[in-house]
Amino acid sequence: MPLWNIYHPPTTFTTPESKQSLAASITSVYTAIPLPAFYVVVQFIPLPPTSFYIGATPRPSPSSSSPSPGPDPTRPFIRITISNVARKIPSKEVGDRFLGMVDEALKPHIEDKGYDWEYSVEETSRDLWKINGLVPPMPGSVAERRWVEENVVSEFERGEGGLE
């Protein structure tokens, strides 16, 4: 499962449509692999400027308008943490492609709006992951292909899920 935590000021992503649009762009990164769409979890976590500091300056800062030195403190800052469980990035080349896809997915929602932004990706152990009490099927297995097609968790035989 990819879990995206998007920390943002309350002045950004203010409508259900803006959140859904970004979540759809993020989900498309993973369904292209293909992973089941339901693997992708996106959480929008609004933080008031009094709880979000960059270089000891609240962001966006209603009280500071001088960007000297440093970035414009009135610009919203978006921080994203991405936790990938379902797949590991096997090489630098694949990692570069993945980061390019992430950049492309975020561009119209963050970069094009003039926000400052940052993200990081962590990969966690698939061995400690379950969905609805089930160990997810292995990549490319018959059961995983069914999960992609049906977009729902369903029980499967261990061999069908590549777990033998």
Structural domains of the chain sorted by starting position, each given as residue range(s) with its CATH number in brackets: 2-128 (3.30.429.10), 130-164 (no CATH)
- pLDDT tens digits for range 111-134: 999 999 999 999 999 999 999 999
36: burial class by Cβ within 10 Å (0-12, 13-18, 19+)?
A: buried
pTM: 0.93
Closest by CA to 11, choosing from 106, 80, 77, 82, is 77
CA–CA distance, 118 with 105 (Å, rounded to integer) = 14
The pLDDT score that the predictor gives to residue 54 is 86
Task: Tell me which residue of 88, 93, 75, 103 sits closest to 139, measured CA to CA.
Answer: 88
Q: Is 4 a residue whose pLDDT tops 80?
A: yes
pLDDT in tens, 53-110: 888 888 887 766 666 666 788 889 999 999 999 999 999 999 999 999 999 999 999 9
> The tokens 């292209």 sit on which residue?
32
> H/E element holding 78?
strand 77-84
